[in-house]
Every structure is written in C-alpha cells, then in structure tokens.
Amino acid sequence: MGASMQPMQTKAVENAASAQPLVVWFEDCRKESVPLVGGKCSSLGELIHAGVRVPPGFALTTAGFRRFMADAGIAREVQAILAGIDMKDLDVLEAASQRIRQMIEAHEFSADIEDQVAECYRKLSLRCGLPAAPVAVRSSATAEDLADASFAGQQDTYLWVRGVNEVLHHMRKCISSLYTGRAIDYRVKHGFDDDQLAISVGVQKMANAYTAGVMFTIHPANGDRSVIVIDSNFGFGESVVSGEVTPDHFVVNKVTLDIIDRTISQKLMCVTVDRKTQTSQTTEVPLERQRVQSLIDDEITELAWMGKQIEKHYGRPMDIEWAVDKDLPAGGNIFILQARPETVWSVRKQAPVAKAASSAMDYILSAMLTGKKVS
C-alpha cells in the first residue's frame, strides 16, 4: 500500500504546482506571497492592501518562470552548458554566461504566458488611460534569493518600456540576469543547485516623477525613532538612491508632522526621461532651480503621514522610495514605489526603559511614537 501511494503523492504535488497562477496583479499579492512573486512584488501588494498609493502593475510568478525554463528544455540546456566547465577560468565562464543569456532572451514564452501578459498589459494601459503605458520591468527575488543580491543576478531594472512585445522581451532579460558570470560563480561556490532557482518579474506603471527620493521612518544617522527623514531631488529617485547628488533634506516630527529641520542643497543634476528614446538620462539642473526646494511643504507633510501609516502597518521602521507624478493633480500624485524594513538601527537592541511613564500624557506620546494603540 505504501509503495502504491508514493506516485499519487508526487502527482498531487505536481498538480498543486501547476495550479499556481502564471501572472498575478499586485493587488492579489500579500507579504505571504514572497515564494510566488518575490520580495519586491509582495511588498507592493501589501502596501496596496494597507491603503497606500502605489503605481499599478502585475508580475510573472515563479510558477511562470519555471514553466518558461522547462519549455523546450531551456533548463536542461543550461545544465548542459554549465556541466564540466572550469569555473576558475573567467573567460570560459563569461562565454558560457553569454551563451545562456542569449538563449533565454531569444526563446519565446509559451502562448498562455504571452496571452496573460498581453491581457494584463492591455488592462494596465486602460487603467492609466494610455494606449501603451510606460512601465518599469524588474526582477523580484524570492525569499531564498534575498540573502545576497548577487545570488539572484543583477536584479536588473528596465525603465520606460512600452508595448507588449517590449515588455515580454525585457521580462526575458530579467530572467537571463540570473546567469551572469558573477551569479553563476556565486551559486557554484555556495553549493546552490540551479534546480532551486526561482525568480519573479514585476511590471509596474512608471511614475513620471517631477520630484522623487527616499524616506526613513527612523533617523538614519542616529536611530531617533521620533522623526521621519525625507531626502529629495528633482526628476527620478535614482540620483538620490545612488548618492550622485546631495539632495534636499527634511526632518519631520513623527507625532505632529511639523517640519523641524530642512536643508536645501545645490542640486547640480537630476535623472529624467529622454522623450526620443524613452529611457532615463542624467541632465543638469538649470542654474535658477539648483537651490529651489524640490518638495513643497504640503507634499512633505503628506509623505510623512504616508510613512507613518506604512510603519504602523509593518510594525517597524521602514526605508521607503517615493515619487511625485507630474502628470497627476495634487492630492493624488504622491506614490510609494518600494518599502522595505530599515536594517541598521532597527535591529539594534534598544536600551531598557529606566522607568514607567510619569504621566498620562507621557504614556500617550510614547504610544503615538511607537504606533501602539492606547487602551
């Protein structure tokens, strides 16, 4: 009886795997969806459920990735190419990487995956009121991949992609980034089997940012949890995230949302979109705008409020990327692009409280700062 049950159990597992969706909308994802859509996409879904304004989008799931790699024996061909090569020979490794990446990028998705991606992209464009919505296409690593960025490839992101054929092409490019020479070498050195690889690819409406940047719901310099810190520059957030520019800097009281400190920097450059090529480009900020505040005070207050809600939802300090979309009216044009736990100060053990709150007001203020409900 035991021997006859084993094939049935295996088949049940296979049927369960095949029942997983190939493509899902962000709003259908939650934080528990990491194995299906990776960390980035599951976080976006969680934010949507928390009532946060997020640019809409969808994701090719890890089930879709595995289907693609199994189709026409791509996975077997990858194993055959990698079998027996000398990983210490960088030229040989790079040649194998190029061969694998070209094969993946040249291979078409199955008809059902193409149809689902095309339908989602059509609906996304309709939601945005555009014939062909510009989107960002980026890889989203699963929990197993998050231990090291190089493990999941370069975490490639392609901006201002338009049209379903271009979306499909750049989805394959994201998948092929799993097989850079560095990523292959890393997995071999750490004894990780390629059969266990899984990646999702997110497709998200581009925010045509007038201003963008980062926000921390804890002071990144000293760990002060009573404030929210916002850094901003004109254009897209890449210039702030990469450190290419000294951004405007705002410190906001987390309870009152008052701006308690501001530093307006000389912003020499910003990242914008090249209208001809629909790609990002670095441009000089006009002299007359270089010392102009890149966020108005109302936007700073709204951002801080959003950051406070996100921290409350996750129950911990957060590192957040945001953008102000210049194509939309004020009051509905600030979007959260990504939110992840702050990993420096929030993991340190806090000093024990010396004594209990000395008054009801102390207790209420403490609760407001930590996001706890006052009972």
**Based on the domain organization, do 215 and 201 belong to the same domain?**
no
88-113 pLDDT, tens digit per residue, is 889 999 999 999 999 999 999 999 99
Kindly tell me if the per-residue pLDDT of 248 is higher than 70: yes
Cβ neighbours of residue 119 closer than 8 Å, sequence gap 6 or more: none
Q: Sorting pLDDT into bands at 50, 70 and 90, what band is 11?
A: very low
The CATH number given to whatever domain includes residue 232 is 3.30.470.20
In-domain check, residue 319: yes
- The DSSP H or E segment spanning 74 is helix 74-82
pLDDT, residue 367, reads 52
Give the three-state DSSP class for 263: strand
Kindly tell me if the per-residue pLDDT of 3 is higher than 80: no
In-domain check, residue 11: no
Domains contained in the chain, number: 2
Q: What is the mean pLDDT of residues 122-134?
A: 95
347 close to 90: Cβ distance less than 8 angstroms = no
CA distance 92 to 86: 7
Q: What is the mean pLDDT of residues 174-192?
A: 84
In-domain check, residue 7: no
Q: What is the mean pLDDT of residues 186-200?
A: 78
pLDDT, residue 83, reads 86
CA distance 129 to 183: 39
Give the three-state DSSP class for 338: strand
Please, what's the largest Cα pairwise distance for the chain?
82
**Based on the domain organization, do 34 and 181 belong to the same domain?**
yes
DSSP 207: P
pTM of the model: 0.79
CA distance 272 to 217: 27
Q: Sorting pLDDT into bands at 50, 70 and 90, what band is 368?
A: low
363 close to 374: Cβ distance less than 8 angstroms = yes
**Based on the domain organization, do 318 and 249 belong to the same domain?**
yes
Mean pLDDT of the chain: 85
36-92 pLDDT, tens digit per residue, is 999 889 999 999 999 999 999 999 999 999 999 998 788 889 889 988 788 888 999
In-domain check, residue 10: no
In-domain check, residue 2: no
In angstroms, the Cα distances linking 260 to 180, 191, 246, 257, 361 are: 46, 51, 19, 9, 21
Angle at 10 between CA 8 and CA 14, to 5 degrees: 115
In-domain check, residue 12: no
**Based on the domain organization, do 253 and 284 belong to the same domain?**
yes
Q: Sorting pLDDT into bands at 50, 70 and 90, what band is 357?
A: very low
249-304 pLDDT, tens digit per residue, is 999 999 999 999 999 999 999 999 887 776 788 999 999 999 999 999 999 999 99
The CATH number given to whatever domain includes residue 93 is 3.30.1490.20
> Which residues are bridge partners to 205 per DSSP?
135
Burial of 184 (0-12, 13-18, 19+ CB in 10 A): buried
**Based on the domain organization, do 197 and 173 belong to the same domain?**
yes
**Domain boundary residue, one of 179, 205, 231:** 205
In-domain check, residue 375: no
Rounded to the nearest angstrom, the gap between the alpha carbon of residue 243 and the centroid of all alpha carbons in its chain is 18
In this structure, the strands spanning 279-284 and 135-141 are unpaired
**Based on the domain organization, do 174 and 230 belong to the same domain?**
no
**Domain boundary residue, one of 180, 205, 230:** 205
Rounded to the nearest angstrom, the gap between the alpha carbon of residue 363 and the centroid of all alpha carbons in its chain is 36
**Domain boundary residue, one of 152, 179, 205:** 205
pLDDT, residue 45, reads 96
**Based on the domain organization, do 199 and 221 belong to the same domain?**
no
**Based on the domain organization, do 194 and 302 belong to the same domain?**
no
211-233 pLDDT, tens digit per residue, is 999 999 999 999 999 999 999 99
**Based on the domain organization, do 28 and 86 belong to the same domain?**
yes
Residue 247 belongs to domain spanning: 209-348+359-369
**Based on the domain organization, do 175 and 70 belong to the same domain?**
yes
